[in-house]
Structure 1
């Protein structure tokens, strides 16, 4: 909290001084408004690939409970919500990629990476709160060469709300719901032609999916904009995020899941804490009408720690001895009996504290030219990025070890790994305009150096030289796309690009006993992504998009069990995406609008192309990839009344899914009882929302329900069986001024 205040004071001081300097300049300067447009270009019709924009109007009308609901109408996206109560740790899979912690989907906020560490630990334990978001951009096509590194799937950019331009503005809202859910949000700002400032404060808390799983999230942000001259603009943003949740990362065995799908006897003790501080500074230099130099600098300081008391779902320990009942890891319990909250309260467990610091600077030049005798828009840029990661683990048998400070003061770490990453990225893209055609070649080069130092592993100190490794890799990632606009309000597009996901350093080395470390064989994932499609608003009141895609990964990285990973050879993912909206009010020129929105993904191919020589890894040629459902669909029927009512009801559908390969080849007893083996059955969820903003009123009212039928369903077996969220209904009021 003390550091956050310092950051805010520093930003206020900088903006105040800059504002004073600007006021001393000639008062006759005519200033131009600067609009932050996110990762998509201004000419959307020239984008040579599939994209989606969830705008502010859609977010206001739908009132999504989490990012999962906000993106449910976007084709090609699969969410797996496991231990997470509110999609705080996103699990997003794009076009058949494994959703686990969104590691193959690049997450951004105003173009700044959001992972714990984009290269060293691309795990999504944070996403921008929707209350701060103006719109969400989803990009799956060849335009990804401008961003990186996790681009084998797609990109999602959260564009935050801009600073007010016309005086004092803001909003306050309050939300309440079942499962003890409450939310408070305030946004206050002031601005004029010279710039302005905005403060955003948020708190949400409630009960999670399972019993004893409470969560409390706080988010504070301050954003300022200063228009120094008609050419120079500064935008600064600082934020502080804090999460304190009770979360059991281990699921349930078959027996206990059958008794109570939502039980978590160790839930009162299992915790997940996350503190994140970030700062982003953008300088926009409008050199000429069609030449702009944008430079962003960012810094993120994140710390997360989890404590768990169970690590063997259903008693599974890899020895064909599962009982269907989860075991307390650091505490004896009678064989064949379920442990209780009282036993858990008197036991220890394991802490996983990890800290992440990363920073980067990225100048980017956007300009129009006729260098080749053809009208063109070009982008060239460079990013320098550094990461400093510290991973530790502590274990203890007594209740005293439930306190992290006690564990750190009274024991040596079971694991201690230091990771440093230096990454340089170079990119360029040019769009040629030739009549109705827009042709866009591009290229990205990733130059990465990773230093890994295993100081302790398996409780032993490591002094072997092999425990310190330096890994260097350079990847050239081209892309090419074409868009044709020969039909009114219609774009036909096609493109191909190379995607890249570097291996996490924690997977590169496997500790093998005392004073020994062995270099792993894990190689980065590289993909070739093809697509062809059409988006159209040719018919009045009807918008449609259809995309056929094919993705080939050269050497996919899979979880082979026990927290280790390996390359599993080539995989192929192919499918058809359909999405659209029909507004009958627009078609029939009436203010009473009945509308239908729908999206559908048919992932007809998502399979391994190579059989692993190690049978226990479970990788078999032709078998389906994990968590890649064949069918994903969402359809909503809505009605908008001229008095300010927007009401909708809809269904989201996910077809059957397969677990990770190693979970498909467990020994018979483990397969039957651990909860790890078996498919994830299909399910459909009913959702509804109503919002009402009376004409000429500053107040709006809303109510939203997810899983309205209160369906009980299984969502994952990654660490045991996890049930999906029960019915969640919440409503509230928002006042704008």
Structure 2
């Protein structure tokens, strides 16, 4: 540990000295260059994102801001993510906690709990453990606290990681205002079955004359979902943000976050159960719960040519899933299971950027380092089999694990702008040491047998992006990068068919992929557009399986993901007064993700749609706003262990038909009557389109999609 830390520290210092020293040497001979060539350090890509920054970014990037979310039928983060090209959202997974979880995939990648994207909130990882458990079965954030969602789908592997083959998703919480502002709001959803779910949120914030800024954010969800036994949702998400501007160059921020949540899980249905009543649930005891406490500190120094940032954070997460499992051979027998897990993560990340002029070029060199340590404790309990419908028996020990990861990352990139061209080569070095002790337990929780596993990874990840500024509104780009995903704790050991704890590290490999993009951004008067063609070449993708109740991981082999993304928005009022107030947006994504080797060569990967489309219309007239939103996706496949796409009686495997939905929303601004008061009413899935998804995990089966749902929104600004 000491040798690794020392070696990486020397590398980081050497890179920093080379970058800073060379840049100062370039600038020193002729300071007048700074007056003739515009130079300014951009620093952290994720800070203060604007439409202009998106235009200049040399890769596929989309921002969904709070105004856009308010103007559509977005009542959850899942709704908002569906509006982003290339992102596919899965409504349910068997062990998910409904509103507590977040499952999305990018460009055909696995969507179950979002494992292949780096998901952040204000730059802090949202996952339990970014290296060992990068999953979001508990997603500790809520739409009411979000200011914008920033999705970088390419050219991000150098500065951010790991698990970045699916891009970087950063949820920006509501900013501290310069003057006092307050807001209270409430969204009520009334499902087709009459169940009601409420989502309140509160915001208070101000900046005092001495430079101290404070904001309190609250967002929650209480009530029942659209299926039976999707009841007792109780989510409370609180953020306290503080910032202090020491002077014009120095600023500090400190945030504290607490998330508590619990919800009943309705579970999957068999084919027969779904046919009788897709809203029903046969799982009266299943629920998911969890909480997270985290704090972050950020110091920032900035002037015209230098940006320095130090980010430190600590997260403490707990989650538990309780569910019944029906016996695979005797359907009259049931077993109760639970899976409490806890994770702690501590990290600090310094980064420095320096801008300088050399000749007729402007340049920015950036260097960063991250140290991260995470600890995990995982437990699985199972009861004896009991008669279905009877009172569950007590849960006894089945397996337990304790693991930890220590990771170091160093990155360096250098951006050079010459006339209308920009080129940014970069490299990231990851050094990861993961350990896990895995125990097979007796029913009294004593250890039956144990296995110790360890995986060490040292990876060099190059990246290159190029952009060309065709004019002030049009930018063309191309990029290449290597992305890396280390083995997770669940991929290091398992219980084998003989009931023993065994290592599976020898049979599995960390995931590595090459990402290619070529595309364009356009930002004009009343018009925005983006188009990207992409190609992802996975050398070894891991696949989760569930065979006769035994779960584990296997090597799927090489996979290839190819496709394109198109997104646009259009304000008709910018071109003719007769259409003032009318605007539209649209997205279209095509993805073809297939296995590239083995018996599945050429066949589609599970749980993704080749075609996904959005179309939205908005019309403002005086105090009225009317929105209509369309969404459509093509079919998906869920093959069984023999790679056959035929529906089984349990409903876990087979085709998943494509579907389309339409939502409407009508809003009225009462500010002329009562200052700050707004209200809206809307309907999701207005034509009550029936659709479903499947899951093959421990709580698998068919899951009904959201039926016709009415929602009412009120808000008051003060």
TM-score, normalisation: structure 1:
0.84
* 1:174–1:732 Cα contact (<8 Å) kept: yes
Q: SS where residue 701 of structure 2 aligns? A: coil
TM alignment of 1:550-629, pairs within 5 A = 550-562=535-547, 563-589=551-577, 592-603=580-591, 605-612=592-599, 620-629=600-609
> Residue 321 of structure 2 corresponds to which residue in structure 1?
306
Deviations 1:557-601 (A, max 9, x none): 012324211112111110111111121111114673212211011
Shift of the alpha carbon at 1:415? 0.9
Tell me, yes or no, if structure 1 residue 38 matches structure 2 residue 46. Answer: yes
Q: SS where residue 262 of structure 1 aligns? A: coil
Shift of the alpha carbon at 1:371? 5.9
Tell me, yes or no, if structure 1 residue 636 matches structure 2 residue 616. Answer: yes
More strand by share: 2
Shift of the alpha carbon at 1:149? 0.6
Distance change in 2, residues 1:610/1:458 (3 Å): farther
Deviations 1:378-425 (A, max 9, x none): 3211111111111101122499xx9xxx99xx8752111001111111
Tell me, yes or no, if structure 1 residue 509 matches structure 2 residue 468. Answer: no
CA distance in 1, matches of 2:582, 2:567: 17
> Residue 271 of structure 2 corresponds to which residue in structure 1?
254
TM alignment of 1:651-730, pairs within 5 A = 651-660=630-639, 662=641, 664-665=643-644, 672-694=648-670, 697-718=675-696, 719-730=700-711
> Residue 25 of structure 1 corresponds to which residue in structure 2?
none
* 1:85–1:208 Cα contact (<8 Å) kept: no
* 2:97–2:287 Cα contact (<8 Å) kept: no
* 2:296–2:314 Cα contact (<8 Å) kept: yes
Distance change in 2, residues 1:681/1:417 (3 Å): same
Distance change in 2, residues 1:300/1:196 (3 Å): same
TM alignment of 1:272-291, pairs within 5 A = 272-286=288-302, 288-291=303-306
CA distance in 2, matches of 1:40, 1:439: 22
Q: SS where residue 585 of structure 1 aligns? A: helix
* 1:419–1:505 Cα contact (<8 Å) kept: yes
* 2:438–2:452 Cα contact (<8 Å) kept: yes
CA distance in 2, matches of 1:660, 1:441: 41
CA distance in 2, matches of 1:720, 1:630: 23
Shift of the alpha carbon at 1:455? 2.6
TM alignment of 1:183-332, pairs within 5 A = 183-193=199-209, 194-214=211-231, 215-249=233-267, 251-266=268-283, 268-286=284-302, 288-311=303-326, 317=328, 328-330=333-335
* 2:81–2:89 Cα contact (<8 Å) kept: no
The equivalent position to 2:429 in structure 1, one of 428, 445, 454, is: 445
The equivalent position to 1:359 in structure 2, one of 343, 346, 354, is: 346
Tell me, yes or no, if structure 1 residue 51 matches structure 2 residue 51. Answer: no
Tell me, yes or no, if structure 1 residue 76 matches structure 2 residue 86. Answer: yes
CA distance in 2, matches of 1:50, 1:458: 51
Shift of the alpha carbon at 1:174? 2.1
Q: Specify every segment of 5 or more residues in structure 2 that has no aligned partner in the other structure, as ranges.
A: 1-41
Q: SS where residue 63 of structure 2 aligns? A: strand
Deviations 1:313-357 (A, max 9, x none): xxxx3x6x8xxxx66522xxxxxxxxxxxxxxxxxx111101111
Distance change in 2, residues 1:515/1:272 (3 Å): closer
CA distance in 2, matches of 1:44, 1:682: 32
> Residue 526 of structure 1 corresponds to which residue in structure 2?
512
Distance change in 2, residues 1:542/1:201 (3 Å): closer
* 1:273–1:304 Cα contact (<8 Å) kept: yes
Deviations 1:195-216 (A, max 9, x none): 2211122331122242011111
Shift of the alpha carbon at 1:63? 4.8
CA distance in 1, matches of 2:367, 2:263: 42
CA distance in 1, matches of 2:612, 2:556: 26
Deviations 1:145-185 (A, max 9, x none): 2101111111210011111212x211111222312111221
Shift of the alpha carbon at 1:94? 0.3
Superposition RMSD in Å: 2.7
The equivalent position to 2:527 in structure 1, one of 542, 545, 548, is: 542
TM alignment of 1:368-383, pairs within 5 A = 368-370=355-357, 374-383=361-370
Q: SS where residue 145 of structure 1 aligns? A: coil
Deviations 1:199-238 (A, max 9, x none): 1223311222420111111111111111123332111111
Task: Identify the range of structure 1 (551-560 vs 374-383) with the bigger mean alpha-carbon deviation.
Answer: 374-383
CA distance in 1, matches of 2:642, 2:141: 33
Q: SS where residue 69 of structure 1 aligns? A: helix
Deviations 1:641-677 (A, max 9, x none): 2x243211121101010115527449x9xx5312122
Shift of the alpha carbon at 1:36? 9.1
Shift of the alpha carbon at 1:695? 5.5
* 1:165–1:195 Cα contact (<8 Å) kept: no
* 1:209–1:723 Cα contact (<8 Å) kept: no
> Residue 23 of structure 1 corresponds to which residue in structure 2?
none
Q: How many residues in Structure 1 have an aligned counterpart in Structure 2?
A: 653
CA distance in 2, matches of 1:253, 1:565: 25
Deviations 1:66-117 (A, max 9, x none): 1121122211111111155754311111001010100012110011100121
Shift of the alpha carbon at 1:372? 8.0
CA distance in 2, matches of 1:624, 1:103: 19
Distance change in 2, residues 1:299/1:684 (3 Å): same
CA distance in 1, matches of 2:44, 2:712: 31
Q: Specify every segment of 5 or more residues in structure 1 that has no aligned partner in the other structure, as ranges.
A: 1-33, 331-348, 613-619
The equivalent position to 2:155 in structure 1, one of 112, 135, 142, is: 142
Distance change in 2, residues 1:37/1:475 (3 Å): closer
Distance change in 2, residues 1:372/1:415 (3 Å): farther
TM-score, normalisation: structure 2:
0.86
